[in-house]
Structure 1
Amino acid sequence: MTPEGKKLLNIVILGFAFMFMFTAFQTCGNIEQTVLISFNGTDFHGTGYTSMAIIYGVFSASNLISPSVVTVIGPQLSMFFSGLLYSAYIAMFIYPFTWTFYTASVLVGIGAAVLWTAQGNVLATNSSETTIGRNSGIFWALLQFSLFFGNLYIYCAWRGHDHITDKDRKTVFISLTVISLVGCFLFFLIRKPESEPSSSSDVTESLLQTESDDSSASSRSVSYFYVFILNSCKLFCILTFYSGVYGTSIGAMTRFGTDAKGLIGLSGICIGAGEILGGGVFGMMNKCTRFGRNPVVLLGLITHYLAFYLIFLNIAEDAPVAPEAGTDLQAFITPSVGVALLCSFLLGLGDSCFNTQLLSIIGFMFKDNSAPAFAVFKFIQSIMAAIAFFYSNYFLLHWQLLILVVSGFLGTVTFFGAEWVAEAKRRNSDYDSI
């Protein structure tokens, strides 16, 4: 197999490993608030939103050390041990206690920082300028298949259930724990890519370009710092919404009938369909137009705005914070299951537009220093996710949608600026080489 073929195989294995792990973890996140509301244990006092806020708060702080961990033990072992912490968090739901619930939340936050920093490193080291868009799309599409399988099981198992029993909970989380562990061991199949031989002319050119690269590093870092901040606000606010809040809201709508709980799983499947379609198509589009990545990001913003508007019309405002019995309130139209699932698909499609292009631009601009770059990216993302999960305990639906609208607009505008800077630098580099 050629070196390029081995790199592509590494990306595929990475995608499958994350698919198994996040089949378990994303399904867990999608249902945990509903599961804990239905939990019979009188000594348990925890909420899924608070747990996720803790995870992403610790995730944020841990990004300060995650590049060092990845450098010391390598990306492969970093992902394996981090995956074990994810598996432990999922297994905790089999017999949940308040202290184990929140302790596991702290540990998985640490693991998440190391996992995603290592993932970014593997993606960047197995990609080139010409393959980073393709590889980002392949990885993202495989990752988002995780939304299909676990949520399909949830839909089939919980359809028609008004209450989640202890048996239902244990069966689901034992299965998810095993699936997560399979993903952990797949990381051992990833091989270190072969370094391409450098000719003497390559070395000379590299030495000649060092001075100009150093002089532009400061301005480039400043430019991308802003896109990190505002796109992180956008991405993890929407992740918080579709991975924890929206499914809970659908399950709380008593006007959807006895299938409301099962619709949580079906909603996750529709989100996954949008993510996979976007990952497969939009991962390639940054090379297909003269405007680079901007058209895809703009499409993501328009798609999300349409979804937010339909959710505002279709879902009751108190659905995210409704008790176990749910809410009987109606929004502005008669609640429609079809509209709710269409919104799920649009949320996934729009999210993939942003994520594939961000993975591509970061992997390209910081190929030789990818671990710190992805750590900074995840650091800012996780701060916003922690804030978003915290306010999800209290904010009604229309306020959460307003936050998403504002952060989406700001994130898109800053991405445009960063992409234009990157394109200008690319053109200047081509001119200098000529």
Structure 2
Amino acid sequence: MQVVIKSIQAEDPNFSGSGYISLAVIYAVFASFNWLAPSCLSYLGPKLTMIAGGITYIIFVAGFLWPQTVILYLTSVLVGAGAALIWTGQGNYLTLMSTQKTISRNSGIFWAMLQSSMLFGNLFVFYQFMGKEIIDQHTRTIVFIALTVVGAIGVGILFTLPKPGADGSGRADDGLGSPFNALKKSFALFKTRDMLLLSATFFYTGIELSFFSGVYSACLSATLRFPDPKRLVGLSGMFIGTGEILGGGVFGIFGSKTVKFGRDPIVLLGYLVHMLCFFLIFLNLPTMSPLQNTRDPSFLANGHPSEVVAMLCSFMLGFGDACFNTQIYSILGSVYEDNSGPAFALFKFTQSLSAAACFFYSSVFELYWHLAILVAFATVGTLTFCAVEWKAHRHLKAKPDTPFD
């Protein structure tokens, strides 16, 4: 978005919008509106909530066809609210349409489908923007018309989804009650021991989301010892997407088998993958790379960073992220089966809040500080997740395994 906005500014001096400010607005509204999303969910139901959220994405993307500073910031507010709606709605819908036995499988399939956009979207933009320092109006029009059409098709598909409870397809609702009652449930749930423990895991996923979606690509493009650093940005996104798709696909296909051993082994796998990844990034990239172009040497042989290691780290960032997120979806849909709307809203609130924090300190912190923060929160988040999972596993063993009805 920032590359496109710089190109717009080159053509229209009156356009003063900023991609970074737009992102800050989106995440601030996203975090705040998550508290109201369960109330909207109780009034509209999960299907209409997802549709309403999806429409805001179409409006935001289409706004780039008529670039105006006011339109950029107004649609940023709109899509921030819409993001809270669509994430809370789909989490609730996923729970209502699943059973204890299928929630892990369905979470993995959902995650793989979601993250496929990173692969196909990056491929599309990679070829459209190839060899261009300035993204001209014709190219921008092609890109944003295509994205708007894809968004419209997506929302159209949401209209075809069965309503929970219709024809025996899942449960009709999870008893949120009135909009005000749904808000009260969110506040009450946030203060419980298990949700406070899981919040540490949510917080880590927000930090690493910001790291791999923003900071890491900036590090690659600023490391001038690479032969063609700008080319690596698009390739990195594709490898991250591949890792996300593989992780979600594996845990989706084998969800019924992996759930027998609990969710904690998969989260521990994600933790170990990320720890190895952070160590390789430490060896491969200079510490000043998030802040400025640099020719500082890496710790690898001859001081030259490795493109292979860089892309391996991209893949590991995506795969580890899939490990964490698929199991978060699974545990929320299982432990909070009767309170899934507020539970998913609190997850996205904490995650988006930490993502905003990471974007904030990214402008001043060197790479090694980023890695230290990631290691610390990954360790705490993994331990707290395991504590909640072990408690849930004991509770599940103490009663018969029955599907939702």
Residue 343 in structure 1 maps to residue 310 in structure 2:
no
Gap change, CA 1:286 and 1:253, over 3 Å in 2? farther
Please state how far the C-alpha of 1:88 moved relative to its aligned partner: 2.0
| Uncovered stretches (5+) of structure 1, i.e. residues with no partner | 1-31, 198-217
Aligned to 2:250: 281
Residue 245 in structure 1 maps to residue 215 in structure 2:
yes
Aligned to 1:397: 367
- Over the aligned positions, Cα root-mean-square deviation in angstroms equals 2.5
- Please identify, of 70-79 and 119-128, the stretch whose mean Cα deviation from structure 2 is larger: 70-79
Please state how far the C-alpha of 1:221 moved relative to its aligned partner: 7.0
Report the 3-state secondary structure (helix = DSSP H, G, I; strand = E; otherwise coil) of the residue aligned with 1:255.
coil
Residue 255 in structure 1 maps to residue 222 in structure 2:
no
Aligned to 1:304: 274
- Partners of 1:331 and 1:44 lie apart in 2 by 39
- Partners of 2:306 and 2:127 lie apart in 1 by 20
- Partners of 1:254 and 1:42 lie apart in 2 by 30
Please state how far the C-alpha of 1:389 moved relative to its aligned partner: 1.6
Residue 140 in structure 1 maps to residue 111 in structure 2:
yes
Please state how far the C-alpha of 1:355 moved relative to its aligned partner: 0.6
Please state how far the C-alpha of 1:226 moved relative to its aligned partner: 2.2
- Paired residue for 1:416, among 382, 386, 393? 386
- Please identify, of 372-381 and 422-431, the stretch whose mean Cα deviation from structure 2 is larger: 422-431
Residue 104 in structure 1 maps to residue 75 in structure 2:
yes
Please state how far the C-alpha of 1:195 moved relative to its aligned partner: 6.4
- Partners of 2:68 and 2:231 lie apart in 1 by 25
Asked if structure 1 preserves the Cα contact closer than 8 Å seen for 2:33 and 2:81, the reply is yes
- Partners of 2:72 and 2:113 lie apart in 1 by 29
- Partners of 1:220 and 1:35 lie apart in 2 by 39
- Partners of 1:127 and 1:427 lie apart in 2 by 19
- Please identify, of 227-236 and 45-54, the stretch whose mean Cα deviation from structure 2 is larger: 45-54
Matched residue type, 1:396? E
Aligned to 1:201: none
Asked if structure 1 preserves the Cα contact closer than 8 Å seen for 2:251 and 2:258, the reply is no
Aligned to 2:180: none
Please state how far the C-alpha of 1:277 moved relative to its aligned partner: 0.9
- Paired residue for 2:61, among 62, 65, 90? 90
Between Structure 1 and Structure 2, the one with more helix by share is 1
- Partners of 1:158 and 1:343 lie apart in 2 by 24
Residue 293 in structure 1 maps to residue 260 in structure 2:
no
Residue 355 in structure 1 maps to residue 325 in structure 2:
yes
**TM-score, normalising length: structure 2:** 0.85
- Partners of 2:211 and 2:349 lie apart in 1 by 19
Aligned to 1:72: 43
Please state how far the C-alpha of 1:132 moved relative to its aligned partner: 0.5
Alignment of 1:23-38 (within 5 A): 32-38=1-7
Could you list the per-position Cα deviations for residues 243-301 of structure 1 after superposition, in whole angstroms to 9, with x for gaps in the alignment?
Answer: 222223323334334x4334322211111111111111134457437641111101101
- Paired residue for 1:190, among 161, 166, 171? 161
Residue 52 in structure 1 maps to residue 19 in structure 2:
no
Asked if structure 2 preserves the Cα contact closer than 8 Å seen for 1:49 and 1:390, the reply is no
How many residues are treated as equivalent by the alignment?
376
- Paired residue for 1:365, among 321, 335, 338? 335
- Partners of 1:99 and 1:331 lie apart in 2 by 43
- Paired residue for 1:264, among 211, 233, 247? 233
Please state how far the C-alpha of 1:329 moved relative to its aligned partner: 4.0
Aligned to 2:349: 379
Asked if structure 1 preserves the Cα contact closer than 8 Å seen for 2:111 and 2:326, the reply is yes
Please state how far the C-alpha of 1:45 moved relative to its aligned partner: 4.0
Asked if structure 2 preserves the Cα contact closer than 8 Å seen for 1:50 and 1:393, the reply is no
- Paired residue for 2:299, among 332, 345, 359? 332
Aligned to 1:126: 97
Aligned to 1:204: none
- Partners of 1:266 and 1:363 lie apart in 2 by 34
Matched residue type, 1:121? N
- Partners of 2:313 and 2:400 lie apart in 1 by 43
Please state how far the C-alpha of 1:409 moved relative to its aligned partner: 0.8
Could you list the per-position Cα deviations for residues 30-71 of structure 1 after superposition, in whole angstroms to 9, with x for gaps in the alignment?
Answer: xx2343455514344444333222212111110111111122
Matched residue type, 2:244? E
Report the 3-state secondary structure (helix = DSSP H, G, I; strand = E; otherwise coil) of the residue aligned with 1:364.
helix
Gap change, CA 1:177 and 1:374, over 3 Å in 2? same
- Partners of 2:136 and 2:79 lie apart in 1 by 26
Asked if structure 2 preserves the Cα contact closer than 8 Å seen for 1:299 and 1:353, the reply is yes
Asked if structure 1 preserves the Cα contact closer than 8 Å seen for 2:5 and 2:17, the reply is yes
Matched residue type, 2:210? T
- Partners of 2:219 and 2:399 lie apart in 1 by 50
- Partners of 1:219 and 1:68 lie apart in 2 by 14
Report the 3-state secondary structure (helix = DSSP H, G, I; strand = E; otherwise coil) of the residue aligned with 1:318.
coil
Q: Percent identity?
A: 46
Asked if structure 1 preserves the Cα contact closer than 8 Å seen for 2:273 and 2:320, the reply is yes
- Paired residue for 2:85, among 102, 110, 114? 114
- Partners of 2:284 and 2:118 lie apart in 1 by 23
- Paired residue for 1:154, among 125, 142, 147? 125
Matched residue type, 1:222? T
| Uncovered stretches (5+) of structure 2, i.e. residues with no partner | 169-187
Matched residue type, 2:242? A
Report the 3-state secondary structure (helix = DSSP H, G, I; strand = E; otherwise coil) of the residue aligned with 2:338.
helix
- Partners of 1:302 and 1:115 lie apart in 2 by 31
Matched residue type, 2:278? F
**TM-score, normalising length: structure 1:** 0.80
- Partners of 1:315 and 1:391 lie apart in 2 by 19
Matched residue type, 1:343? C
Could you list the per-position Cα deviations for residues 410-430 of structure 1 after superposition, in whole angstroms to 9, with x for gaps in the alignment?
Answer: 100100100011011112224
